[in-house]
Amino acid sequence: MRRIETEAIVIGGGATGAGTLRDLSLRGVRAVLIEKSDIASGTTGRNHGLLHSGARYAVNDLESARECISENRILKKIARHCIEDTGGLFVTLPEDDPSYHGKLIEHCRYAGIRCEEIGVREALRMEPNLNPEILSALRVPDGTIDPFRLTSANVLDAQERGASVFTHTEVEEILRDGDRAAGVRCRDRLTGEKIEIYAGIIVNASGVWGQRLSASAGIELRMFPSKGSMLIIDYRINNIVVNRCRVPSDGDIIVPGDTVSLIGTTSKKVDYDRIDEITVDDDEIATLLESGEKLIPSVSRARVLRAYCGVRPLIAVSGEMDGREISRGIVLIDHEKRDAVGGLITIAGGKLMTYRLMAEMAADLACAKLKAGKKCRTHRTPLPGSERRVDQARSVKFFTGIPNSVVGSTLYRHGHRIRNILHREKRNYGLICECEMVTEGEIEYALKKLNVRDIVDLRRRTRIGMGPCQGQLCAYRAAGLFVKYDSATSDESNKMLVDFLEERWKGIKPVLWGDALREVEFGYWIYQGLFGLGDVRFEEEAEKR
């Protein structure tokens, strides 16, 4: 069995885990990240990508609100290329309680969040697709953030500074050395290989899966999973975040994100045993469509691309409460103090927005325990891709000969790193995913540099398969490129093609009507009718590379 010695282990490749890995690496600590699936495949990849101004929490949770606005400002500097500073609105509809409007203004002031009242006409000018019946509008510094890009950039930075990353690798057991957690034994789920890693400190950043993980170390960590569902509309029906100005409830936000818009969310309790089997229910879809339409009427005519759900990583510190009202506060647990198990800390709770702060807290504690490492620099150091403000006009000029839409899309996803990706070479800028303008060059870059082990991983790094066709044309092409660039054998490629299509299917199923059904019929005709992919018999064991 392979054995690795390092200083720190981070379990969990969501934003928090990736952020912690990066923070430790910036402090000069050697660290290893272990993630059972792919980065940002848990809660990080299943939220609405809102870069909170904090206004949503201002009325009920002042502390969270303050954390939000402070991190909001930091992220806008260090993660520039992952963020779109769209601005946000809080709108009051005729049936809403008008007093909430005043409360919001007041509490935002306490929290230090700029909250400006604007006229209805001005709001409609800013966002023409808004429901014209709104009574009032408040403007806040909301934005949107791409969680995949963010997590990937953190991981890339950490790796460039010497960290190691193991994706598709599951921790089977936390290895104990007396009253200390000394390391982990894990298994690569794709190859079957087992690895033992030893470190001075283990950071559990596995989010809602932490309960299971800690149990293997004999520690009780109670999670309170709450499912939230979202609908994706296949194009951007709004350019500014639209919030409903009322007590937070189901379906009160529509967030634009890259080329789509997202209607969110709902809140349903879910048993811990079922956190890996959650699905979107029909009543949730109906609620989201109904409330979405109230904010932006054209929702009723738009094509719903897919529906997905994520589990909120709420950690029950005490008692039992309704999912939405538990504070989304950050929880940092030193298991030496709480459970007499040394060498293990847990960082949990919080939200995507505050990942960097959570990582800082975890890294601070980890370094204190290791008695090593310098001070935190993550708030000052831009992530790869955000090193410099990207100038679209200049990039377009630099890449003359390549269509603007292609340059613009690649720039949008990778920021300053575009120079490593696009070249004025025909093979490089040929399009593979035509919906989202993903070039062969971008895929090559992802395969070689961004820990991509299958097409689903590739999707997270490049947006391939996230457009209207949901992979119908590009999935086969992507599978072929894995073989072309020696990132997979032909057999593995065939298998990952099936896996990718099944993964896309999970999110399309719940909304299978109208154009989504037509698209699926078309895709199924191609992949099963024409290609016979469903008839391919795979080898019993995975081929070792």
Partner 1 sequence: MIRLQNISFDHCIKCTVCTVYCPVARATHHFPGPKQSGPDTERLRIKSPELLDESLKYCTNCKRCEIACPSNVKIADIIQSSKWRYFKKSLRPRDFFLAHTDLMGSVATRASLLVNFFIKLPPVKLFLDLFFRIPSERRFPKYARGSFLAWYKKHRAEQEAFAERAVYFPGCYVNYNNHELGKDVVTVLNAMNIGVIVSYEKCCGVPLIANGYIGRARKNALLNINSLAASAAESGARIISASSSCSFALKHEYRNLLELDNSAIFDSLDYITRFIHERFLKGNLPELKPVRLRAAYHSPCHLERMGGVMNTIEVLKKIPGLDLTILHSECCGIAGTYGFKKEYYRVSQKVGAELFKRIERADPQIVITDCETCKWQIEMSTPYRVEHPVTVLARSIDGGKL
Partner 2 sequence: MRYDCVIIGGGLSGLTCGIRLAETGASVAVISTGMSALHFSSGSIDLFGYNGEGRTVYRPFEFLDEFVGSNPRHPYALCGARQVREALFYFRGQLDLEGIELYNNDESNHFHVTTLGTLKPTFFSQRSVFNEKIRLAFEKKSMIAALNFEGYRDFYPELAVINLRRNVLFRNIEIITGKIVYPDYGDPQRNPFEYRSVDIARIFDTERYLEELAVQIRNAASGAAFAAMPAFLGISNFKRHHKLLQELTGLLIYEIPTLPPSILGMRIDNALKSRFASLGGVYIAGDTVTGGSISGERLESVVTENGGGSALSAGSFVLATGSFFSGGLVSEFSRVREPVLDLKVYSDAERSRWYAPEFFPRRGHPFLEYGVETDERLNPKTGDGRRVKNLYCTGALLPYYNPIKEGSGGGVAVSTGYRAAELILEGNS
Query: Closest by alpha carbon to 155, among 487, 418, 449, 455?
Result: 449
Contacted entry of partner 2, partner 1, none for residue 298, CB cut-off 5 to 8 Å set by kind: partner 1
Burial label, 272 (beta-carbon count in 10 A; 0-12, 13-18, 19+): middle
5 binds partner 2 (CB under 8 A): no
| Comparison of 266 and 395: residue with beta carbon closer to partner 1 | 395
Listed in sequence order, the DSSP H helices in 296-439 are: 335-339, 355-370, 392-398, 404-414, 418-421, 426-429
Is there a contact between 10 and 31 (Cβ–Cβ < 8 Å)? yes
521 binds partner 2 (CB under 8 A): yes
What is the DSSP secondary structure assignment for residue 42, as one 8-state letter?
Answer: S
Which of positions 324-383 make contact with partner 1 (CB under 8 A)? Answer: none
Contacted entry of partner 2, partner 1, none for residue 328, CB cut-off 5 to 8 Å set by kind: none
Backbone angles phi, psi at 157, to 5 degrees: -60, -45
**CA 122-123-128 angle, 5° bins:** 105
Binding mask 448-487 for partner 1 (x = CB under 8 A): -------------------xxx--xx--------------
20 binds partner 2 (CB under 8 A): no
| Comparison of 319 and 532: residue with beta carbon closer to partner 2 | 532
305 binds partner 2 (CB under 8 A): no
Report d(CA 324, CA 334) in Å as an integer.
26
514 binds partner 2 (CB under 8 A): yes
Contacted entry of partner 2, partner 1, none for residue 99, CB cut-off 5 to 8 Å set by kind: none
| Comparison of 337 and 426: residue with beta carbon closer to partner 1 | 426
Binding mask 236-275 for partner 1 (x = CB under 8 A): xx-x----------------x-xx----------------
C-alpha dist (Å) from residue 291 to 74, 161, 281, 299: 32, 46, 16, 10
**One-letter-per-residue 3-state SS of 253-293:** EEEEECCEEEEECCCEECCHHHCCCCCCCHHHHHHHHHHHH
Single out the residue of 2, 301, 371, 537 in contact with partner 1 (rule: CB under 8 A).
301
440 binds partner 2 (CB under 8 A): yes
Which of positions 421-450 make contact with partner 1 (CB under 8 A)? Answer: 431, 434-435, 437
Report d(CA 79, CA 85) in Å as an integer.
11
Single out the residue of 112, 403, 430, 529 in contact with partner 1 (rule: CB under 8 A).
403
Single out the residue of 212, 484, 485, 542 in contact with partner 2 (rule: CB under 8 A).
484
| Comparison of 248 and 408: residue with beta carbon closer to partner 1 | 408
Is there a contact between 525 and 501 (Cβ–Cβ < 8 Å)? no
543 binds partner 1 (CB under 8 A): no
| Comparison of 404 and 490: residue with beta carbon closer to partner 2 | 490
Strands (E), 12-135: 31-34, 50-51, 83-84, 88-92, 116-118
Report d(CA 242, CA 235) in Å as an integer.
15
Binding mask 410-429 for partner 2 (x = CB under 8 A): ----------------xx-x
Angle of helix 15-26 versus helix 355-370 axis, rounded to 10: 50
Query: Closest by alpha carbon to 466, among 498, 495, 433, 444?
Result: 433
198 binds partner 2 (CB under 8 A): no
150 binds partner 2 (CB under 8 A): no
**CA 272-148-311 angle, 5° bins:** 15
Single out the residue of 498, 507, 540, 545 in contact with partner 2 (rule: CB under 8 A).
498
Looking at the DSSP bridge assignments, the partners of residue 31 are: 8
542 binds partner 2 (CB under 8 A): no
Contacted entry of partner 1, partner 2, none for residue 534, CB cut-off 5 to 8 Å set by kind: partner 2
Shortest Å distance, C-beta 543 to partner 2: 10
Is there a contact between 113 and 165 (Cβ–Cβ < 8 Å)? no
394 binds partner 1 (CB under 8 A): no
Contacted entry of partner 1, partner 2, none for residue 319, CB cut-off 5 to 8 Å set by kind: none
388 binds partner 2 (CB under 8 A): no
The amino acid that residue 88 corresponds to is G
Is there a contact between 449 and 430 (Cβ–Cβ < 8 Å)? no
Shortest Å distance, C-beta 444 to partner 2: 12
Shortest Å distance, C-beta 340 to partner 2: 46
405 binds partner 1 (CB under 8 A): yes
Report d(CA 332, CA 461) in Å as an integer.
29
- For 265: left if phi > 0, alpha if psi spans -120 to 50, otherwise beta; the answer is beta
Footprint of partner 2 (CB under 8 A): 282, 426-427, 429-432, 440, 473, 476-477, 479-480, 483-484, 489-491, 493-494, 498, 501-502, 504-505, 509, 512-514, 517-518, 520-522, 524-537
Binding residues for partner 1 (CB under 8 A)? 128-129, 234-237, 239, 256, 258-259, 298, 301-303, 392-393, 396, 403-405, 408-409, 412, 431, 434-435, 437, 467-469, 472-473, 515, 518-519, 522
